[in-house]
Structures are given as C-alpha cells and as structure tokens.
Structure 1
C-alpha cells in the first residue's frame, strides 16, 4: 500500500527570507550529486527552481535545454512557502519556512493526491542536505558537491540499527540523517568525506565475509580508538605502527573495519 504522505523538518540558522532565497536559488549547490540522487543520474548536470507560480523544478541535462520537469509551482510566497504539483508522480509538495528564535524551521510535506497511486517520497532523504550547506556556505567553494566515484556497500540484517551503531561507535555521519529508533529503511547512506558507505538490507542468513575490510583515515586515531572501545566495539588489534598507525575492529554484525591515522594534509 502506498503511504499517503511524508514529512520532514530541519532547522537552520538563517531568517526565513534568507533561508527561502538560499533554498530556491542555490539548490544546485546544496543538492548532493550522487548516482542515486537524480531520476536520470547518468545525464544530470544540475538542479534548478524557476521562481514564481508556473515555474518549474528541473533536472538539467546536457545540452542545458534538455531537462526533466519534476514539477510545476502552484504557490510562491517568498520567505514563507512554496508548493508544487509533481510531474513525475501523483504527489503535491509544500515547503514552508517558519521563524524559530533566530533561525528558521523548514518543513516539507509531500502528499499523495486523491486517486493517485504513484509517489516518490524523496524529500525526506534530501532535505537534510540543506542545513549542511548553510553551515558551510560562508567558507566552502560555491561549486556543487560531488560524491567520489568510489563507494562501499555493506549488508546488514538491520541497516538502521547498524547506522546508529556506526555513528555512535565509529563516528560515521550522514548528509541525510541517522535513522531514529523504530525506523525501518531498506538502506541507509553514510558518508566519510565525499565518499559513501551504503548499508543495505541483507537477504538470507549468510554472515559477512572476512576477506575484506573497510579502511577509514581519521584525524585523531587515539581518540577514535577510545570511542570505539567505550561503545563496545570488538577490537581485533590495538593501535600499532607499520609505517602508519592503525587499529582493526569488528562491528555489531561482524564486518571488519580498519582505522588509520590521517596525514596532517589529508
């Protein structure tokens, strides 16, 4: 059965007018360019919002006049909200900007239309990129953020629980969000710098293979080792040096991880 709606909320440290302007004008800067973040990722080069009622949400290809219309704007109130009717499924989306203290609460509500049957509820995953961009836009290059071409996929019985554990024990973060208790996504994307570690649902009862290890370079290996120990990670080898300093550990479902000390310029 198709869910009737999906809602997601983030808070940002900007007033509503500024948050609205950055959200709409700079969507191509905060939208992460990864292989699963577009309807046609093989050709996509940009995201664009045309302002005003009747404007379009566009996935832009090459040449730039080749586009996929994602939706048509039906309500446009700068600093307050905008809404659009999807052109790729049977949903309507409202994005509101509400003052909260010195900042703004941005809420996305994506709703299945009456008699509709097709819904791609993608906003709950991507809206979390927006506060990440706002936090770094004053010092970061104003170029679209690209994921590296190399990613790691690991399989777990419970990807959400694994994501929470990896966040607590190893400090892995996500450009989207760490699933809360009770969430049951079939996959979760974590990020190390501009690389993806994707946690998928394991099928069957096959245990993790131990003929590989995921390597991550960290700024403070000693602090990271202490955090992993305190979180109950199984330590396979303590910190040791062989040209570089590293330690090896095992996560809650038996995957092997190697953490090594990063160079000062890395």
Structure 2
C-alpha cells in the first residue's frame, strides 16, 4: 500500500445512506461490466459491520475498493482487489437465503472451515502494517513449508487470513488427465 492511496473512510455502518452516495474519497458504485478484471474464483467474507471491515481490510491488508453496493446499513455486495485477486465482502445477517447457511467466527468459538491465502510483494512490510492495524497474529512471520515465507492472522471480526511472499512451489502440477482418472 502506498502512502498516497486514498482509502474509504467509514467510521461506522450508519454512515451509509440509501438516499445518497457512500461517504468516500472513491467512486465505489458501478456495474460488473466496468470492473477490469473478473476472476473465476473469489472468496466471499461476511462481516457484521461491513463498512468498518472494508476500511480495515484496506488499511491493514492493502486491499483496494472496486465496487460497493449498499442498502442503508447493509453492504449487499462489495469487491476489493489485491494484486490480481478479488475479495467479495457483504454484511452478515443480510436476510438473504444464503444467510441461514453461514456462521461468523465468534459463533464457532473462533474456528473456521476455510481461510483466504494472499500473495504479497513485500511480506515484511505487509506483516508490520497488519500488526500496526491490530491484526491478531496466530502464526508469526516465518519460513513455512513448502518453501514459502508467510504468516497467519485474524481480522477485526475473527476471519483467518494467510499471507505469503510467493506461491508455494510443488514438484509437479496436476494435469487434467490425472484429475479425470480420479472420477
């Protein structure tokens, strides 16, 4: 994250208004057609206070807001980018059919069934920035198997994240014919 980057500033979720634009230095509304990159696999995280979480994810982890669609205090859909990757964010307990299938980390004793892995250019600077922002480090920055330097932490609502300096190296990439033999 460069010092000149402007992040949205939501001090709490009551700053969003259905009668006006979101309070931000960015233009955050738009359509999927005006977003340059469309990834085919995107993690989607839900937060009780999605506006504050978006701010925090931008300042702590270096995400950039691409798109935020809100209805009053509810973030229906937000997309944040980091390098070539995209993260989708929404409000927990948004009243949708999907809502009843998901729990938040504080409802599971802090346990997760999955987490996000993000490759960053400068892992030392990223680690320092995340710690300054209050990320709870659960695995300190160190060399990890398979030959990658990284760390794990929790965000402000308890979601687990793994950050690494490079993609792990494996001896052989699976080929499509190897997968078809499994089915």
Q: Under TM normalisation by the shorter chain, which class is it?
A: 0.5 to 0.7
| CA distance, structure 2, for counterparts of residue 206 and residue 9 of structure 1 | 29
Q: Spell out, residue by residue over 1:164-197, the C-alpha distance to the aligned partner (whole angstroms, 9 max, x if none).
A: 11111111111236x9xx9653332111234321
Q: Spell out, residue by residue over 1:29-51, the C-alpha distance to the aligned partner (whole angstroms, 9 max, x if none).
A: xxxxxxxxxxxxxxxxxxxxxxx
Structure 2 residue corresponding to 1:224, chosen from 119, 123, 126: 126
| CA distance, structure 1, for counterparts of residue 104 and residue 22 of structure 2 | 34
Q: CA deviation at 1:5?
A: 6.3
Structure 1 residue corresponding to 2:137, chosen from 205, 229, 235: 235
Query: CA RMSD, aligned part only?
Result: 3.6
Higher strand share: 1
Q: Specify whether residues 218 and 251 from structure 1 end up closer, same or farther in structure 2 by C-alpha distance, changes over 3 A only.
A: same
Aligned length: 134
Identify the structure with bigger relative contact order (alpha carbons < 8 Å, sequence gap 6+).
2
Residue number in structure 2 paired with 1:18: none
Q: How does 1:62-211 map to 2 (within 5 A)?
A: 125-126=29-30, 145-176=36-67, 184-203=74-93, 206-208=103-105, 209-211=111-113
Structure 1: runs of 5 or more not aligned: 12-122, 131-143
Q: CA deviation at 1:4?
A: 9.0
Q: What is the TM-score with the length of structure 1 in the denominator?
A: 0.43
| CA distance, structure 2, for counterparts of residue 200 and residue 170 of structure 1 | 17
Higher helix share: 2
Q: CA deviation at 1:124?
A: 5.7
- Point out the structure with max Rg over C-alpha: 1
Structure 2: runs of 5 or more not aligned: 1-16, 94-99, 106-110, 168-183
Q: Is the Cα–Cα contact under 8 Å of residues 62 and 82 in structure 2 kept in the other structure?
A: no
Q: What is the TM-score with the length of structure 2 in the denominator?
A: 0.60
